[in-house]
Every structure is written in structure tokens, then in C-alpha cells.
């Protein structure tokens, strides 16, 4: 992967491999499979985009999805360095994704709008 070429990409470019859920308040959302979400986390980590949280959703038929309320969030701590927050936010997201009880569920990642690099 050419990380130097990807560094200037907006975070949604790494999420677009999933099912587009639409746009709300200027924010585009995609439903990612477990493997797609883990791949996106690797790309977001390598290019400096922290994850502020995520939602877990299930396919409800047709173009519909329902939230399972297995969401999480991750905020930067007062004395935390940007690179440390990046690593911790990715680890928190990865942990939630790896502990899904049903691999058929989808993940919606919420990346920061601020790159730490």
C-alpha cells in the first residue's frame, strides 16, 4: 500500500468499500463487514485518522438496517498526545469489532474530521 499517496485522502475514502447508507448532516456513512472494517482501521491508522466511535447494525431486509445499540465512543484525553490517541482509538474500535457476537453484523465507523499527522 502506498501510504504516502493515501495520507491526503479524506477518511471516508477508506470506508467507501462498504454499503453506502446515505448522507446525514454532511456526513457520509457506510456499513462495513467485519473484515472491511478491520481493513479500514489499518488504513486509517496508517494515514493518521482517529476513530471517534462506531455503531453496530444488522441487515433488516432490502435496503434497511437496524441499530443493535452495541455502539462505542473514544475521546481524546486531556493530557494525551495525538499519536497516542490515534493508536488507542484504533485499538478500542478493533476490540469492539473483534468481539462481535455475530459476524453477519455490520460496522459503521465514525472517524475524526481532524488528521493527527
pLDDT in tens, 100-112: 989 899 999 999 9
At residue 12 the predicted structure's pLDDT band, cuts being 50, 70 and 90, is: confident
Q: Which of 20-24, 30-34, 47-51, 62-66 is predicted with the least confidence, judged by mean pLDDT?
A: 20-24
Q: How far apart are CA 15 and CA 108, in angstroms?
A: 9
Instruction: Identify which of 101, 96, 113, 105 has the alpha carbon closest to the alpha carbon of residue 54.
Output: 96
3-state secondary structure of 17: coil
- Tell me the average pLDDT across 85-91: 98
Alpha-carbon dihedral angle through residues 110, 53, 102, 57, given to the nearest 10 degrees:
-50
Looking at the domain 3-110, which fold is it?
Ribulose 1,5 Bisphosphate Carboxylase/Oxygenase (3.30.190)
The per-residue pLDDT for 22 is 84
The per-residue pLDDT for 1 is 39
Q: How far apart are CA 109 and CA 32, in angstroms?
A: 8
pLDDT in tens, 27-51: 678 999 999 999 999 999 999 999 9
Q: Which long-range contacts does 98-103 make (Cβ < 8 Å, 24+ apart)?
A: 98/38, 100/34, 100/56, 100/70, 102/58, 103/34
Amino acid at each position: 500500500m502506498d501510504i504516502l499517496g493515501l495520507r491526503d485522502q479524506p477518511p471516508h475514502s477508506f470506508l467507501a468499500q462498504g454499503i453506502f447508507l446515505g448522507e446525514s448532516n454532511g456526513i457520509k456513512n457506510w456499513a462495513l463487514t467485519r473484515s472491511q472494517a478491520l481493513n479500514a482501521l489499518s488504513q486509517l491508522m496508517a494515514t493518521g485518522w482517529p476513530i471517534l466511535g462506531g455503531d453496530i447494525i444488522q441487515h433488516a431486509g432490502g435496503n434497511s438496517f437496524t441499530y443493535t445499540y452495541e455502539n462505542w465512543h473514544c475521546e481524546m484525553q486531556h493530557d494525551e498526545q495525538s499519536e497516542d490517541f490515534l493508536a488507542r482509538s484504533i485499538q478500542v474500535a478493533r476490540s469492539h469489532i473483534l468481539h462481535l457476537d455475530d459476524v453477519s453484523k455490520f460496522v459503521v465507523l465514525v472517524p475524526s474530521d481532524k488528521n493527527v499527522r
